[in-house]
């Protein structure tokens, strides 16, 4: 089989399992996340028909695929965007409470479209969706948070994440 056919099979048969399961595996241990990433890395190398010494980053760039933690981050940001801008949404809008300015006061949070960071009670809680979603949203640049159209937001964030992965630059503010 040629590379394009193998890549199409991977994207249609294997990648959906990674995408649909990212809310589950994003809260699992780093060891389990690493195992899943190794499966994706092996698949990328099999598609390219290269040996084990071929660098994982280069394989992902050549196939235009993001690593699993980028896909999980994209999912978190899109769910945050839905709960911020879509009124009839199913998502976890109770977790994403916008920080509003006090009457007569101007705060940077209202200008930057930030949301309240929920308090995590345990060390494990920092991996929970309800904590990581707002945390990821608040780290996003203000210009990206101000995009109201969902499809445009997703396109811009996906392009920025791809660029960040390729160049190792950070789309998030520190």
Per-domain boundaries in the chain: 3-65, 70-167
Contact 43, 65 (CB under 8 A): no
pLDDT of 49 higher than 90: yes
Give the pLDDT of residue 70: 85
| pLDDT computed for residue 5 by the predictor | 93
Provide mean pLDDT across the span 124-133: 68
Q: Residue 16 pLDDT > 80, yes or no?
A: yes
Q: What is the pLDDT of residue 92?
A: 47
Dump pLDDT digits (tens) for 55-108. 998 999 899 888 988 888 888 888 777 777 765 544 444 545 544 443 333 334
Mapping DSSP onto H, E and C, the string for the chain reads CCHHHHHHHHHHHHHHHHHHCHHHHCCCCHHHHHHHHHHHHHHHHHHHCCCCCCCHHHHHHHHCCCCHHHHHHHHHHHHHHHHHHCCCCCCCHHHCCECCCCCCCCCHHHHCCCECCCCCCCCHHHHCHHHHHHHHHHHECHHHHCCCCHHHHHHHHHHHHHHHHHHCCCCECC
Chain-centre distance of CA 174, in angstroms?
17
For residues 121-150, give the mean pLDDT. Answer: 75
Instruction: Look at residue 164 in the predicted model and tell me its pLDDT.
Output: 81
For residue 44, pLDDT over 90 is answered with yes
Q: What is the pLDDT of residue 84?
A: 72
* pLDDT of residue 43 exceeding 80: yes
pLDDT at 158 over 60: yes
């Amino acid at each position: 089989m040629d590379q394009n056919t193998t890549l199409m099979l991977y994207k249609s048969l294997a990648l959906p399992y990674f995408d649909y399961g990212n809310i589950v595996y994003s809260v699992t241990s780093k060891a389990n996340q690493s195992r899943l990433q190794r499966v994706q890395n092996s698949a990328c190398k099999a598609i390219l028909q290269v040996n084990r010494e071929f660098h994982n980053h280069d394989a992902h760039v050549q196939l235009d695929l993001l690593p699993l933690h980028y896909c999980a981050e994209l999912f978190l940001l899109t769910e945050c965007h839905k709960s911020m801008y879509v009124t009839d949404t199913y998502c976890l809008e109770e977790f994403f409470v916008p920080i509003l300015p006090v009457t007569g006061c101007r705060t940077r949070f209202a200008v930057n479209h930030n949301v309240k960071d929920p308090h995590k009670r345990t060390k494990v809680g920092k991996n929970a969706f309800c904590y990581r979603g707002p945390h990821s949203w608040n780290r996003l640049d203000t210009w990206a948070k101000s995009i109201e159209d969902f499809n445009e937001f997703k396109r811009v964030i996906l392009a920025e994440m791809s660029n960040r992965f390729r160049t190792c630059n950070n789309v998030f503010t520190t």
